Amino acid sequence: MKKYAVLVAGGNGTRMGSSLPKQYLHLNEEPLLLHTLKKFITAFDDIHIILVLPQAYVDYTKEILAEYNFIYPVSYVVGGETRFHSVQNGLKVISDKGIVFVHDAVRCLVSAELIRRCYDQALEKGSAIPVIPMKDSVRMVDENGVNHAVNRNKLRLVQTPQTFQTNILLPAFEYTYQDSFTDEATVVEAHGKKVDLIEGEDTNIKITSPVDLKIAESYLNQRH
């Protein structure tokens, strides 16, 4: 079965306090993006990598990967206005049947083991959405400012790679964008398909702020 990884790297450095988009910031002397690429190639050495980037950083990314002697073939795609449109652009590269991983490029601590588990479940059930339990108390606030407690045992935090069979994911992204599309699972559900969850990883964090980078460094050093 063919395997595709659509890595969405369209973020900027606003919350990081950096002029450089966060996917290029260094973690243990390598760009976050490079860590992520290596994880997918470690999981499957025959995977087709589709890298979705801001137009202004396509050439820069090629230079960075060449600098680090990254020679694995990559398809470069320009992102869109929203995450939906960026993923949609990435999916246009895919023409054959297979399994598609859609992953935040700055979730650089994802394990090869989780990637393989997502693949196996998607192969069997059609989809695999990594989630972890809520640890904090949660409250719902309505449009009038009234709040009430929510049972956290019924809630899950969603991660990536969100993984699907192509015959499920590709048709869903032919539809018009809606504000409710926050990830691939919501797009597939709007298309009338059920999604299946899979246990994620506490360390599979998304790097969005300087403290996340410190946490990621600590996790990485513990692994080593």
pLDDT in tens, 126-163: 999 999 999 999 999 999 999 999 999 999 999 999 99
Sign of CA dihedral 35, 36, 42, 47: negative
Contact 196, 205 (CB under 8 A): no
Q: Is 197 exposed, middle or buried (0-12, 13-18, 19+ CB in 10 A)?
A: middle
The per-residue pLDDT for range 36-74, each reduced to its tens digit, is 999 999 999 999 999 999 999 999 999 999 999 999 999
Tell me which residue of 150, 173, 60, 161 sits closest to 118, measured CA to CA: 161
Helices (H), ranges, the chain: 32-43, 58-67, 83-91, 112-125, 166-172, 184-190, 210-223
CA dihedral 121, 126, 129, 133 (to 10 degrees): -70
> Greater confidence, 220 or 48?
48
Domain that holds residue 194: 2-223
> How do 197-199 and 162-165 pair as beta strands?
unpaired
| Chain segment 200-213, per-residue pLDDT in tens | 999 999 999 999 99
Contact 130, 114 (CB under 8 A): yes
Using pLDDT thresholds of 50, 70 and 90, give the confidence band for residue 16.
low
User: If you average pLDDT over residues 81-86, what whole number do you get?
Assistant: 95
pLDDT computed for residue 20 by the predictor: 87
How does residue 10 score in pLDDT terms, banded at 50, 70 and 90? confident
Beta-bridge partners for 147: 141
CB of 65 closer than 8 Å to CB of 55:
no
Residue 158 CA to residue 155 CA, distance in Å, equals 10
What token pair was written down for 44? Answer: 């499957």
Neighbour count for residue 95 (Cβ, 10 Å)? 9
Q: What is the tens place of the pLDDT at every residue in 94-130?
A: 999 999 999 999 999 999 999 999 999 999 999 999 9
Q: What is the rounded average pLDDT for all residues in the chain?
A: 94
What is the distance between the alpha carbons of residues 77 and 91, in angstroms, rounded to a whole number? 10
Question: Per-residue pLDDT for 224 more than 70?
Answer: no
Lowest mean pLDDT among 3-7, 55-59, 82-86, 220-224: 220-224
Pairing assessment for the beta strands 98-104 and 162-165 based on DSSP bridges: antiparallel
Report d(CA 41, CA 139) in Å as an integer.
Answer: 40
Confidence of residue 17 (pLDDT cuts 50, 70, 90): low
User: Residue 128 sits in a domain of what CATH number?
Assistant: 3.90.550.10
Give residue 220's pLDDT band: very low, low, confident or very high (50, 70, 90): confident
Q: Which amino acid is at 74?
A: V
Query: What is the total count of domains within the chain?
Result: 1
Reported as half-sphere exposure (CB side, CA atoms, 13 A), residue 111 has a value of: 12
What's the CA angle centered on 43, arms 159 and 209, to 5 degrees?
35
pLDDT (mean) for 18-29:
88
- Tell me how far apart the alpha carbons of residues 54 and 23 are, in angstroms, rounded to a whole number: 11
